[in-house]
Chain A
Amino acid sequence: MDAVLSQLYAGISLGSVLLLIALGLSLTFGQMGVINMAHGEFIMAGAYTAFVVQQIFSDVGLSLLVSLPLAFVVGGLLGVLLEVTLISRLYHRPLDTLLVTWGVSLILQQVARDIFGAPAVDVRAPSWLQGNVEILGAPFTTSRIFIVVLSLVCVTALGLVLRYTPLGRRIRAVVQARGLAETSGIATRTTDRITFFIGSGLAGVAGVALTLIGSTQPYMGTTYIVDAFLVVVVGGIGQIKGAVIAAFALGTLQAFFAYSQSVSTAKVLLLVVVIVFLQVRPQGLFSVRTRSLA
């Protein structure tokens, strides 16, 4: 029972990391059809933001709280920069955005390597995030609980913004019917940019969260990006709830596979599960209905 519980906890925390990353992806991918491979490097940028902030503030807890919003801004600005300079030229060529942003991610990785060096840098976790909490008799590390809470907060905030604010309405309108939204006077290009800012900013936040549980190094983004894309594929585009369910489902599945088999077999099994799932629901768990044939 303990083993099951601790796998479940591992799955939940992996799921919430994936969710944080996939939220941003599903925004950009869902709204604009843009596959941003540099999303992983925005994560890395967020993580290094946490590292830099920690060099400035001596108080570890304070620096964590400062770096969360700061990383959001850093990731977001990087995203907007990418959108304005490159992606905006490629909206009609979704596959090409993938390759172009891959090029961007190569460059960003090398930039990080040149600035911070290839070895992982040390980002300390505040003392109140060290240690374990026993939940139902199985240990759950505090830092992972923090990540779960953080990702839930982000999901809720994003959901509220999308549902109740004028900005959210605009974003949803653009996702569901870009042409009609534009005809109705919504500035779709501005909306795109804001969406990209939010999505990339969430990647930055995810980066800060990852410093608590993983190592901060130039290639950290690539570790998660493929899985996060799988979450988006399974969850379907255009709706948050799909990403939430898919993230926790895939995270938990991977944790259990990794427990019963091995980490590498888990990845293979997970991919098989995803492909089988797509046989049943090729459009993902939830999808916004459009009149397109595709």
Chain B
Amino acid sequence: MSAVVTGLRPRLVGLSGYAVAALALFVLAPLVLTDFRLRLLAQFLCLAMVAVGIGLAWGRGGMLTLGQGVFFGLGAYIMAIHLQLSDAGPGGRPSFMVTGSGLPWWWELFRHPVAAVVGIVAVPALVAFVLGYAVFRRKVKGAYFAILSQALASAFALLLISQQGTIGGSNGLSNFQQFFGFVLNDPVNRRMIFFICAGVLLGMVAVVHQLMRSRYGELLTAVRDGEERVRFLGYDPALVKVFAYVVAAVFAGVGGALFVPVVGIISPSNVGVVPSIGFVIGVAVGGRATLLGPVLGSLAVSYAGSTLSAEFESVWIYLQGLLFILVVSFLPGGVVSLVSDRWRRRTDKGSDDTGDEPGGAGGSTGGEAGGDPPPASAAAEVPLVDDPTGQVQPGGVR
């Protein structure tokens, strides 16, 4: 496969898009939004972090993970445990626990701030590595992987609910006073947390961008589109996939960790099967294999959810179901792909009309003999996972 050829222009477009996003988040949002809205936006940003990871694992790597709530929850609970302990002071114990019972040993692990931060990254990464490696090594993939990840989410939520005495059961953990020494009630500190969320999210997008520009990104898409071929070329697809899965898990864990100080509560209802699949919908709506699609889609879905579900709960559920059905069946590239398709068609008109097939989301089909590289292959235009045209069937002989 030829290396990704990037023109200057798409790069500039990407950079300027990035700058616009940064400006909007760091300057515009704090200026126009009320404190309440800003807090809501911070919450959405945390959820969008999970979406960025899903975009990498699912959109680029073809691993539909329906269990990101697990990693979100791991990060969130570690953060919550740390905050509870730091509120309680040295040697203290969180208020919700029954007096007399000892503090579980794993609470003590996260008492130190550094240990908590390390845990937020390391624990989801470790769980994802063990599960991912075990599963991918044996070539369990596609639907099987999706089902296993969903089973994981379901089991994890049940496990949390059963731990009434140690992590609050179905009530979860709440009532945090301080965030690493800063009082949470202070609007200034709240704004700081918002900036942290925005910065972290932008950082994650940049990481995914760099990953996808690297050889690794090529390899990941190659594994998605033809795992056996990559194997025959001498790579280990399991390692390629597990890396993307671990990155996605870490993103979800960090998102969960930041979710806790923003929202002030974490409970099993944030991590189970339903929220886990809820993370996926934003990614699907925005565009799973694009850079900004998952973020924008996730933000849009979160916003729609929070405005609609407050007043018309059943309407929101119907809409959510319809979104899943309509977007996935009729617009598998997501909304962003509409925009970028149009943009590509316009740029194509200037050059040769090689890949001008309407509806085909892939400039890659034309690139077999090393002809013109698709003009804008860098940022947002990787062909789709399950593109109906010319996809190698995972079932082999059917």
B388 proximity list for chain A (CB < 8 A):
92-93
Is B154 on the interface with A (CB-CB < 8 A)? yes
B45 to chain A: closest CB distance in Å?
24
> Which residues of chain B (89-109) have a CB below 8 Å from chain A?
none
A81 to chain B: closest CB distance in Å?
13
Is A177 on the interface with B (CB-CB < 8 A)? yes
Give B150's nearest chain A residue, CB to CB. Answer: A226
Once the chains bind, are A92 and B386 in contact (CB under 8 Å)? yes
B146 proximity list for chain A (CB < 8 A):
35, 95, 98
Interface 1/0 per residue, A81-124 and B, CB below 8 Å:
00000100110111110111011111101100110000000000
Q: How far is the CA of A94 from the CA of B318 in the complex (A)?
A: 23
Is B162 on the interface with A (CB-CB < 8 A)? yes
Is B372 on the interface with A (CB-CB < 8 A)? no
B250 proximity list for chain A (CB < 8 A):
none
B203 proximity list for chain A (CB < 8 A):
none
A11 to chain B: closest CB distance in Å?
18
> Which residues of chain B (115-152) have a CB below 8 Å from chain A?
131, 134-135, 137-144, 146-148, 150-152
Once the chains bind, are B328 and A96 in contact (CB under 8 Å)? yes
Q: Is the interface of B mostly helix, strand, loop or mixed?
A: helix
Interface residues on A, range: 35 or more
Once the chains bind, are B151 and A226 in contact (CB under 8 Å)? yes
Partner of B325, one of A86, A265, A293: A86
Once the chains bind, are A90 and B329 in contact (CB under 8 Å)? yes
Once the chains bind, are B140 and A96 in contact (CB under 8 Å)? no
A227 proximity list for chain B (CB < 8 A):
151
B385 proximity list for chain A (CB < 8 A):
95
Is B204 on the interface with A (CB-CB < 8 A)? no
Q: Which of A141-149, A155-163, A201-209, A270-278 participates in binding chain B?
A: A270-278
> Which residues of chain B (276-316) have a CB below 8 Å from chain A?
277, 280-281, 284, 314
Other A-B pairs, 4, CB within 8 Å; known A86-B325, A265-B159, A294-B395: A100-B328, A110-B318, A268-B156, A278-B144
26 A-B pairs within 8 Å (CB atoms) are namely: A33-B143, A86-B325, A94-B394, A99-B64, A99-B277, A103-B324, A104-B321, A105-B321, A106-B317, A107-B321, A227-B151, A229-B147, A233-B144, A264-B155, A264-B161, A267-B159, A268-B158, A270-B155, A271-B148, A275-B134, A278-B135, A278-B148, A291-B396, A292-B398, A293-B396, A294-B139
Q: Enumerate chain A interface residues (CB-CB to B < 8 A).
A: 29, 33, 35, 86, 89-90, 92-96, 98-100, 102-107, 109-110, 113-114, 177-179, 222, 226-227, 229-230, 233, 262-265, 267-268, 270-271, 274-275, 278-279, 282, 290-294
Q: Enumerate chain B interface residues (CB-CB to A < 8 A).
A: 62, 64, 66, 131, 134-135, 137-144, 146-148, 150-152, 154-156, 158-159, 161-162, 227-228, 273, 277, 280-281, 284, 314, 317-318, 320-325, 328-329, 332, 385-386, 388, 391, 393-398
